[in-house]
Structure 1
Amino acid sequence: MAVAASIALSVPQVAAAPGQSQTETIAYGTDALQQLDFTRARGTAGPAPLIVFVHGGGWKRGDKGNATGRWKAPHFTGEGYAFATINYRLVPDFTVEQQAQDVADALAALLAPSHRLGIARGKVVLMGHSAGAHLAALVGTDPQYLRKAGLSYADIAGIVPIDGAAYDVPRQIAQSGRFMRATYLQAFGQAPQRQRDLSPSMQAAKPNAPAFLLLHVEREDGIAQAREFETALRKAGAQVERHTFAGKGLRGHAKINRELGNPDYPATAVVDRWLAKILE
C-alpha cells in the first residue's frame, strides 16, 4: 500500500450551509499540494459512488479551489455521489509521472477510509479537464500508477476526460503552435519514448479502466485526439462513448469545465446518464 494512504489527515473546513454537505480536506502526501477536498453525497444512507476530479492548467498551474467549477460538487452530491477534487504537484518542480502517481495516491487515500467516508468501493469515476483529462486518462490506461498505490482497475468503474488534447503526446507536440508548444515540451520533454509512455492512446492496449466517456468541444486538435483515443480504447475492448459540445477555442475549452454540473448545460445530462449506467 502506498505511503499516501497511511498518512492521510483530515481537516474539516467551515461547516456547510443548511441542506449542503460538509467538505473536509484530506492530505494524501507530505507536499503542500498533495491535498484534496472531499464532500459526502447528500440524501444517501449507505455507501455512495465517488467522483474524483482532476483540475487542468497545462500541468504547471491550477488549483482545486479555482479550476474545479462551481457546479460539479453541488450537482453530483445532490445526485447521490460523493465528490472529491484534488490538487497535485506541478511542473517544472515535479514530473507528469509524479502527477499521475499523485492522482492514484489521492484515490488510495480516499478508499483506505472508505467506510468512514461513506464511499462504495469499486464504484469510482476519475474525471479531469484539460491537463487533468490527460492525467485521468493516463491513470486509466497505464496500470503502474494504481499498482504503486496499492490499487487496480477493479477499484475504478470509469474515466471521464473533459476536452483533453494530449492523449497522443508526440502528435500533439508536432501539431501545436507556438502558443502551446513550450507548455507541452516543458511537461513531456524531448525524448520520444517518454512522450509515448505518457500518451494514453499509446497505452490503451494494456489493461484499462472498464469504461470511458470522452467529452470535448469543437476544437480541431481536441476532436482529432479524442477520436484517436476512442479508436485505441475500442480496439482494446474498453467501453467508450464520445460526445461533442458547442464551443471553440479557449472559450469553449473553459466553458465545458465551468458549466459541467449546471442542469441547463447539455453535457450535464450526458454525464448523468452515463454515470447512472456504469454505477448501477
Structure 2
Amino acid sequence: MKNKLFLALGASALLATSIAAAAPGDRFREKMRERMAARLQDNPQAPVTPPAQTLSYGSDRLQEIDFWKPAKASGPAPLVLFVHGGGWKRGSKDVAASRFAPAHFTGLGYAYAAINYRLVPNAKVEDQAEDVARALKALLDKAGELGIDRNRVVITGHSAGAHLVALVGTDEQYLKKAGLSFANLDGVIPNDGAAYDVPAQVAQSGNFMKPTYEQAFGTEPARQRALSPAHHAGAPNAPAFLLIHVQRKDGVEQNKGLEAALKAAGTRVERREFPGTGLQGHGEINRRLGDPEYPATGVVDAWLKGVFGS
C-alpha cells in the first residue's frame, strides 16, 4: 500500500503544475514534489543504472546529456534519445526518466541518452524544441567517439517530452536550425502526451492544467497552433512514429488526432494503448518502460527492432 502511495504521489509530483507563478510557500512545495519524484525512481525492482557519461551541448547548465554506450557492441550502435516531462517547467533526466531504460536499451545493443533542456519560464517551448535538436546534433557530431550509428536514430519522450519530440518530428525547422533534417531521424516515440493539438487541449483543460498550458503556449491561437505537432503533421515528417498512451480521456483523443494527421500525410504511424488511468497510469508508462514485465516494453522493443533493422 505504501508503494502505491509513493507511485501516485510521484506521478503527481511530475504533473502538479496548476500553479502558474511562484507564490509564497510554493518553493517549499516544489522541493517536496522533487523529493517525491526522486523517491518514485527508487524502485527496488529496477536494475542498477549503469554509470553514464555526461556531456554538454550548450552554455546553459541545463543543456546537458547523460549518455550510455551499449553493453555489447560489434560496431556503431543505434541511438535512442529520451526527453523528460514535467509540464515544460520542471523535471529532469535524473528524476523524470525510467530507471529501467538505461540498462534495458543498452542491453539490447543500443546507445541510450537522456537530456535536460531549458525550462519555462526562463525559456520558451520553442527553445526547448531547439534544445532537443541541439542535443541530438551534439551526439551525432561525436558519433565516432561515442560509437553511435548516425544512420539509426530514434527520439522519444514522456508527457511534455512527448510533445517536444513530436514537434521536432513534424516541424523540421528545429532540426534545420541545428544543422540536421528529418533524414537524421528514423523514428519518434511520443509517450503518453496530451498536447499534440494545443488549442484543442487548452480549450478542454480544467483549472488543474490550464495555467500550465497557458504558461507554456500562451493564449494566442496562432502560437498555440505553431507549437502543435498535429498542425504540422502534413508531409514531410520523420519517417515513422509509435504513439503509446494509457487511458486518460484527453490523452486518448490527442493521440488519435495525431495518428489521423500523420496517416493523412502518408507517414508510417502505429498507435498502441495500454491499461492505466489518471496520474498513476501516466507516470507508470514512463516509470516502467524497459521493465520486461510491463506490456509497453515489448511493443517498443519490437518497433525499434523493425525501425533499426536489428
Q: Which category describes the TM-score, using the shorter chain as reference length? A: over 0.9
Mapped partners of 1:20, 1:159: distance in 2: 24
Offset at residue 66 of structure 1 (A):
0.6
Q: Which amino acid aligns with 1:26?
A: L
Question: How far apart are 1:23 and its partner, in Å?
Answer: 1.5
Residues 219 and 115 (structure 1), Cα distance of their counterparts in 2 relative to 1, 3 Å cut: same
Residue 220 of structure 2 corresponds to: 191
Q: Which residue of 2 aligns with 1:77?
A: 106
Equivalent in the alignment of 2:188: 159
- 1:24 corresponds, among 53, 65, 90, to 53
Deviation per CA, 1:20-64: give whole Å up to 9, x if none.
854210100000000010000111120000000000000000000
Residue 266 in structure 1 maps to residue 295 in structure 2: yes
**Alpha carbons 1:22, 1:40 under 8 Å: kept:** no
CA distance in 1, matches of 2:145, 2:237: 28
TM-score, normalised on structure 1? Answer: 0.92
Structure 1 residue ranges without an equivalent (≥5): 1-18
**Of 79, 90, 97, the match for 1:68:** 97
2:271 matched residue in structure 1: 242
SS at 2:54's partner residue?
A: strand
Contact 1:157 1:211 in 2 (8 A): yes
Q: Does 1:219 align with 2:248?
A: yes
Give the whole-Å Cα distance in 2 for the aligned partners of 1:201 and 1:106. Answer: 23
- Specify whether residues 89 and 235 from structure 1 end up closer, same or farther in structure 2 by C-alpha distance, changes over 3 A only: same
Determine the structure 1 residue equivalent to 2:77.
48
| Secondary structure class of the residue paired with 1:83 | strand
Q: CA-to-partner distance for each residue in 1:148-181, whole Å, 9 max, x for gaps?
A: 0000111100000000000000000000010000
Q: How many residues align?
A: 262
Query: What is the alpha-carbon distance in structure 2 between the residues aligned to residue 52 and residue 112 of structure 1?
Result: 15
Q: Deviations over 1:161-218 (max 9, x none)?
A: 0000000000000000100000000000011111000000000014100000000000
Output the amino acid matched with 2:222.
Q
* Residues 238-274 of structure 1: per-residue CA shift (max 9 Å, x gap): 1100011000000000000000000000000000000
RMSD of aligned alpha carbons: 1.0
* Whole-angstrom distance in 1 between the partners of 2:52 and 2:121: 30
Are the aligned partners of 1:21 and 1:42 in contact in 2 as well (CA < 8 Å)? no
For 1:256 and 1:20, locate their aligned partners in 2 and report how far apart those are by CA, in whole Å. 18
TM-score normalised over the length of structure 2: 0.83
Q: Does 1:91 align with 2:133?
A: no
Counterpart in 2 of 1:38?
67
Q: Can you list the C-alpha shifts for 1:102-130, whole angstroms capped at 9, x where unaligned?
A: 00000000000101100001211000000
Is the contact made by 2:129 and 2:174 (CA closer than 8 Å) also made in structure 1? yes
How many Å separate the matches in 2 of 1:126 and 1:263?
20
CA distance in 2, matches of 1:72, 1:31: 26
Work out the CA distance in 1 between the residues paired with 2:50 and 2:282. 29
Asked if 2 retains the 8 angstrom alpha-carbon contact of 1:142 and 1:206, the reply is no
Cross-structure match for 1:15 = none
1:69 positional shift: 1.3
Q: In structure 2, what is the Cα distance between the partners aligned to 1:191 and 1:207?
A: 26
Aligned twin of 1:253: 282
SS in 2 for 1:179: coil
Preserved contact between residue 21 and residue 41 of structure 1 (Cα < 8 Å) = no
* d(CA) in 2 for partners of 1:79, 1:177: 41
Identical residues among aligned pairs (%): 60
